[in-house]
Structures are given as structure tokens and as C-alpha cells.
Structure 1
Amino acid sequence: MRIQLPVDGQSQYTDNVRKKWQNSACGPTTAAIILDYLLPHESPKSINQLYKQLRTTRIGLFKYRFIRNLRKIVGPTWSVEGCSLDDALLELREGRPVAIKFDRYFSFHFFLKPTFAYHWVPLIGYEETENDVVLIIHDNGGRNRDSQIREVSFQANRKVLSFVKMSPSSVREQ
């Protein structure tokens, strides 16, 4: 089975992103893409705004900051939390993209050769194969290149991957 959501990608290297932030803007770019897809009627957040609101640093965005600060942005009607691959695939089946972080440094797998050493991307689909799950992502672009849809192996990257899902939460009655 193959699922691919019609998510529009963005490049973290667009002229709209501050030049000094572009190299570390993959987390805010991923958040912007997911927010634009899940909350299309909300006022759009720029990558620069999200860079500040998520408290991104020049070396990137830590997962706990991504979760904690995205919760503040979306409010109590949405749940933002880390999840497993199985949860991420369920989110995709429910029509919601998921944030993926590739991180060989803070996962202490310095010598692995994953698709990305340290990078946030939106997961927009998947396909199960006999021995693997092919993850369909937007790569957030490059200098002078728009974001592209890419397919990457879960098995080849599993030791450096973490997932963050954003889903509607039930509003508690007061």
C-alpha cells in the first residue's frame, strides 16, 4: 500500500528566510509546511516567525523544543508529541503529515551514513515493501533549489530517526 499526501513543500533557502538562518531553518520550515497543510484557514506563519517562536538555534532545533514550542503555537486543541514509526504511519493514514528528524550526532551514531546527518523534514507518505518501509518526504530544498519529494529507506536510517506528530486533541470541558 502506498500513501502520499498532497503536501506543498517549501525551501528553507528561499529569499523569504533570513540569510543567516537558512542553514538551520529546516525545523521551522518543516513546521510551516505541516501547519499550512493542517491549518490552512489560520493566518500563515512565516519561516522566520517560526524560527523565533520555536527557539531555533544556529545549530538547529532540538526535538524537545520543537514539541514544547509548537504546542504553544497551536494551542490546546492540538496535541504535539513524539511518536513511533507505527504511530507516524497511522497519522499519514489519517491524512496528517509528520515531522521527522534525522540526527546522527545526538543519537550518537557518528559513523553511520544516513540520508541526512542532521535535518528536519516533513513525512508526507510511505510505501511498505517486503523488507522495509519507504518514507516519502519533502527535503526542504537546497541553495537555488526548491524542495523535492524524495523516497528514503526507514531501515537505512532507523537508528537516527525520530518522529513528531500533530493531531487534534479533544477539548476538555471546563
Structure 2
Amino acid sequence: MKEKQPEIRLDVEPYTQWEPGVSSPGSACGPATMAALMEYWHTRRGCSLIPGAGYFHSKAAHINYIYSHHGGTPWGMSARGFVKGLQDYLGAALPHENRKPFSVSLFNHMQRYQAEIDAKRPVALKFDRWFSLRWRGRYAYDYHWVLGTGYDMTDKAAGPVLIVQDNGIRHKNGGFTPGRERRIPFLPNQSILTMVALHIDL
């Protein structure tokens, strides 16, 4: 049996919801996460039938397309909306006769998350303290989508750490920091997390 690595990360192209050209940047974290996930399967996993950023000519246009056609709203994207948008996006791109060549599932468990990453499948993560009714506590985000790209299990005392792409940060002066890697402790955030796994038959 292959031993799990204490730290692993996938090579995922970062997306930024705040970059110029994104039509509704304040509520585009879900579409940006979905776009990054689709780009990974297109580029890194070789699913050429899935439209990536090149098909839309830019990352901003890719985000805008998903926002307009696959579940973007001014108040953000629900987990159910994300799943439906993902299913519609892939359903239009991937041929199927008797069954869909992909599956989408929701969960909230570190071991399952590790298994997805070990299988080279990024996981969409939604942080949501408001609809989880978690008024107290300090969380990485109040309401935000990111793409889980890895994990770190090296510090047993601190517990597991999620490695994510954060979709960028907007600054008060109007500038922004592009999407980048961030490390987030799992246990303090577990109660407000929804994880979305995607498996495509290759």
C-alpha cells in the first residue's frame, strides 16, 4: 500500500476574480473557482473537449461566461448552484449516451479531501458562515469560494492544512493581488465548509 505524503499540491493555474475585464468581480469567486477547475481538467488532465481559457480568449472572459450561463448571481453562488453549473458546463462539453462521463459530489471530510487530491483532482471549497449560522468563531473567510489544490499534514499538533488558490484579493485603493496559494487550517473552518469533488472518466 502506497504511503500518503505529508504534503502534496497540484499544479493549478490561478484565476483572479478582480482582474480587469471581470464583469461582476465582487460576486465572481464561484465562477472563478469553477473556471480554474475546468482549466485544470482541460490543460493538466488532457480533457480537450472541456473549454478552457483559450477557448474564451482570456481568463476574465472565461469567468464572465460561467457567471452569465452557469450560476453566477450578485449575492454569490450557492453550493447547489455550483454543482448545477458544473453539471451543465460539462454536460454540454462531454459526449454521453447512456450515462454521464463525470460525477459531482458534496462532502465535508479531510480524508475524502486528501483522497481527491492524491488522485490529482482539485476540490472546490465553499466557506459560508452566514448560511451555516456560525455567528461566532474566526474563520478564513465569511463567504467565499476557493479551489483546493493540496494539503499539508506535517504538523500533527496543529492538524491538517488545506492548500488553496484564493482567487485574488481586492485592496481599498482599487488595486488587487492576483490569485495565489494560501494555507488554511482545516479544523477551525470545518463547520462552515462545503467541498465539491469532480470525477471525470478519462
Q: Does the aligned pair in 2 maintain the 1:104–1:112 contact within 8 Å? A: no
Name the amino acid aligned to 1:84: N
Q: Do residues 3 (structure 1) and 16 (structure 2) align?
A: no
Counterparts of 2:140 and 2:130, CA distance in 1: 13
- For structure 1, list consecutive stretches of 5 or more residues without a partner in the other structure: none
Is 1:164 aligned with 2:180? no
Counterpart of 2:25, as a letter, is Q
**Is 1:146 paired with 2:153?**
no
Structure 1 residue aligned with 2:31: 28
**Counterpart AA for 1:145:** T
Which of these residues, 97, 113, 116, is aligned with residue 122 of structure 2? 97
Structure 2 counterpart of 1:37: 40
Q: Which residue, 80, 91, 100 being the options, matches 2:104? A: 80
Task: Tell me the alpha carbon deviations over residues 53-95 of structure 1, each in whole angstroms, 9 at most, x when there is no partner.
Answer: 2222111000011112211111221111212322221110000
Secondary structure of the corresponding residue to residue 39 of structure 1: helix
2:187 to 144, 147, 155: 155
Q: Which residue type is aligned with residue 73 of structure 1? A: Y
Paired residue total: 168
Tell me how far 1:169 sits from its aligned partner: 4.6
What RMSD over aligned residues (CA atoms) do the two structures have, in Å?
A: 1.4
- 1:64 maps to what in 2? 80
Identity of aligned residues (%): 31
Task: Give the superposition deviation at 1:16.
Answer: 2.4
State the alpha-carbon separation in 2 of the partners of residues 55 and 68 from structure 1. Answer: 8
Q: Which runs of 5+ in 2 are unaligned?
A: 1-5, 54-61, 92-99, 171-175
Larger radius of gyration: 2
Deviations 1:27-64 (A, max 9, x none): 00000001100122232250001012222211100001
Residues 108 and 193 of structure 2 are in contact (CA less than 8 Å); yes or no, is this contact kept in structure 1? no
TM-score, normalised to structure 1, is 0.91
Question: Within 1, Cα distance between the matches of 2:34 and 2:71?
Answer: 12
Q: What code does the residue aligned with 1:38 have?
A: W
